[in-house]
Structure 1
Amino acid sequence: MAPRLLSCLVKPSSSEKINAMADVEAEEQRQGGAVVVELFTSQGCATSPEAELLASRLGRGDFELGIPLILLAHHVDYWDYMGWKDPFGSSLSTVRQKTYVEALGLDTMFTPQVVVQGRAHCTGTDQEALLASITSAPRFPAPTFQANFQRPSPDTLQVSLSGALRMKVDSNGANVMVALYENGLITNCQSGENKGKVLSNDFVVRKLDKLCSIKDISSKKTVSGAVNFPLWEGFNSGKCVIAVFVQNSSHQTFGSQNFKLPENL
């Protein structure tokens, strides 16, 4: 079943909500919100496990950066011909990486590669460069989305979101993206460059879809929409998280949020 994009509505927020948010918004404007870190990786790449470990350490807070992070691991499929088909690999992840290669003016694609806030990139194993990219990345207030989760069918998760973006969107427009990712995945790699290794993967993007496209709205207007995600065999909501983030036409990332899924959903 393919993901189905439902309607996206834009309406003014109530004055009460705006007033209640004023102090929080001012503080977040000073401190900044989360930084989105996207890892492009593959179980078929010999150096990707090192990058995966670095990403997991970031997620655990090992480096004490004092910066909230949203980590997403996109498993590409162009390593599959090397003898091991990544069970999480996707042609859509490969297309997303190509989009960043073009937007950043790069010559080629490679794994492991990290893109930070859609603005900077580095090799996924280069700890120093990665930490520097994160600490220097621009930060933006998080949207005020509220999330509702439903299972309209056994193999479908519906994610409904409503809230203010807290950023003005001009006539160039922006997309609100929704990612469903999973932590704590273990794979016994039986062939390819990582043959014989037990691979641990976190932040694995299972599905990525567009909630809606918007333009010409103020930071205080409410955006509402829903996305249907097809689920996979063995789906465990307790291991899954929803990430929401805003990207402009240049694929630069602005506000972002994380939502843990309820257990036993």
Structure 2
Amino acid sequence: MAQLLACFRRRGGATASAPDEAAEDQQQAAPGPVLVELFSSQGCATSPEADAVAARLAQDSTGEGAVVVLGFHVDYWDYRGWKDPFASSAWTVRQKAYVEALRLDTLFTPQVVVQGRAHCVGTEQDALAQAVRDAPRYPAPAMKVTFQRPNPTTLQASFTGSLRSRVEGPGGASVLVALYENGLVTDCGRGENKGKSLLNDHVVRRLEKVAAVREGASARKTVSGTVQFPLWDGFRATRCGLALFVQNAALQVLGVQHFDLPDNV
């Protein structure tokens, strides 16, 4: 089965890096992956199907068709009898921001947002595939990351490198990084998925801002920043990854880079 974004992953040691400088000029114009954000809930009957669609998309993506999937579990289903253990009000706020930016009428699950520019129902596999094909692709940022554990409950990640895409649109952009976890299995005891064993991948556990970038910043702009992720009980680096992306004030994504976590963090 194809490995997601194999050309962007780096493993081993405590540092993950972008392609070496000798190849950077050649790869400067190469299209990077597309960011696919799934807003779902364990309390929603159709979200498990959308989770499976997104997981297949991530597994099968490679080369010019590569995607990075992030799963944001929203909390507005929690009152229906089952409290999603991965839900956050912050992810509901993020989805609401997309509703406004995309001029939609309402929130719903499961919803997929592609590159911050288009959306569809998360179970509609053909519509999702078309949205990914239609999405503009930008070179992946050329960032290096160094990991540290300042204490047992914190993961620190320090980034430095170039954007490799000009910052488009008024208001500048933010460089964000999501820490996500795969292979989460939950036995659902109540709600619309009562009695089911739910498998969730690409579940965003933390989202932090690395840096702010001014409007019109060039593709050669070098940025740096350090973030700290509070860790949860049962954290295992081998099940987790990082997705770093540049997002402008209109919530359009201007480049995505993926990192595995080294085994020794």
TM-score normalized with structure 2 length:
0.89
Which of 131, 148, 155 is residue 153 of structure 2 equivalent to? 155
Shift, 1:221, TM fit: 2.3
Corresponding residue of 1:8:
none
Between the aligned partners of 1:242 and 1:228, the Cα distance in structure 2 is: 13
Between the aligned partners of 1:138 and 1:68, the Cα distance in structure 2 is: 12
Corresponding residue of 1:23:
26
Shift, 1:22, TM fit: 1.4
> In the alignment, residue 229 of structure 1 is paired with which amino acid?
F
Report if aligned partners of 1:65, 1:135 keep a CA contact under 8 Å in 2. no
**Number of aligned pairs?**
244
Question: Could you list the runs of 5+ residues in structure 1 that have no partner in the other structure?
Answer: 1-15
Corresponding residue of 2:238:
238
Corresponding residue of 1:34:
33
> In the alignment, residue 191 of structure 1 is paired with which amino acid?
R
Question: Helix, strand or coil: the match of 2:123?
Answer: coil
Between the aligned partners of 1:102 and 1:157, the Cα distance in structure 2 is: 33
Report if aligned partners of 1:36, 1:71 keep a CA contact under 8 Å in 2. yes
Deviations 1:24-63 (A, max 9, x none): 213x0xxx110000000000000000000111111210x7
> In the alignment, residue 144 of structure 2 is paired with which amino acid?
Q
Question: Helix, strand or coil: the match of 1:179?
Answer: strand
> In the alignment, residue 214 of structure 1 is paired with which amino acid?
V
**Which residues in structure 2 correspond to 1:1-265 (within 5 Å)?**
17=21, 21-26=24-29, 28=30, 32-61=31-60, 66-169=64-167, 172-215=171-214, 216-265=216-265
Shift, 1:222, TM fit: 1.1
Between the aligned partners of 1:168 and 1:65, the Cα distance in structure 2 is: 22
Runs of 4 or more consecutive aligned structure 1 residues displaced over 4 Å after TM superposition: 63-66
Question: Could you list the runs of 5+ residues in structure 2 that have no partner in the other structure?
Answer: 1-19
Report if aligned partners of 1:238, 1:264 keep a CA contact under 8 Å in 2. no
- Percentage of matched positions with identical amino acids: 57
Corresponding residue of 1:6:
none
> In the alignment, residue 173 of structure 2 is paired with which amino acid?
A
Distance 1:195-1:219 versus aligned 2 partners, 3 A rule: same
> In the alignment, residue 255 of structure 1 is paired with which amino acid?
G
Deviations 1:122-154 (A, max 9, x none): 000011111110111110001100111111011
Deviations 1:214-248 (A, max 9, x none): 11532112111010010000000000000000001
Between the aligned partners of 1:177 and 1:236, the Cα distance in structure 2 is: 22
> In the alignment, residue 108 of structure 1 is paired with which amino acid?
T
Alpha-carbon RMSD across the aligned residues, in angstroms, is 1.6
TM-score normalized with structure 1 length:
0.89
